[in-house]
Amino acid sequence: MSDAVAAEKLYTYEDVKGHTTKKDLWMVVHDKVYDVSSFVDEHPGGEEVMMDVGGQDATDSFEDVGHSDEAREILEKMLVGKVKRNPGDPKPKTPAPLAPQAPGQQTDGGASVYAFFILAAIVAFGAYKYIS
């Protein structure tokens, strides 16, 4: 689907909630709807983290990890539309304001990334123990 066509297509949260399997996985990030099914097996954080937010608004999870520009470009290729809000839907998630940055200063989300992977490992281990 071309970006222009995808940008015009509207989906409700009910539409998105119907796509929660590994082979049919959608999520919302910043009020845009993405079909991430083709990326589940390639996701560096593992499929569990994507499955946990499938069919819902994944904006906070996506931003908390501190995804790279490359990850954002990959995500944009999976765009299928935008969210059409109905009464009772979750409020839009807005990005946190960025702190002013001195020239040449770099931000490092390293601690957040490690915490995310540790949490993902704990969840995966718990799921493994629960299933077996």
Give the domain ranges of the chain.
Answer: 3-83
Question: In angstroms, what is the C-alpha Rg of the chain?
Answer: 16
CATH architecture of the domain covering 3-83: Roll (3.10)
Average pLDDT of the chain is 82
Question: Sign of the CA dihedral 83, 87, 90, 91?
Answer: positive
Residues 6 or more apart whose Cβ sits within 8 Å of residue 53: 27, 61
CB 35 within 8 A of CB 6: no
**Residue 105 has what pLDDT?**
55
Enter the DSSP assignment of 89.
S
Residues 6 or more apart whose Cβ sits within 8 Å of residue 84: 10, 11, 12
| pLDDT above 90 as % of the chain | 39
Q: What is the pTM of this model?
A: 0.64
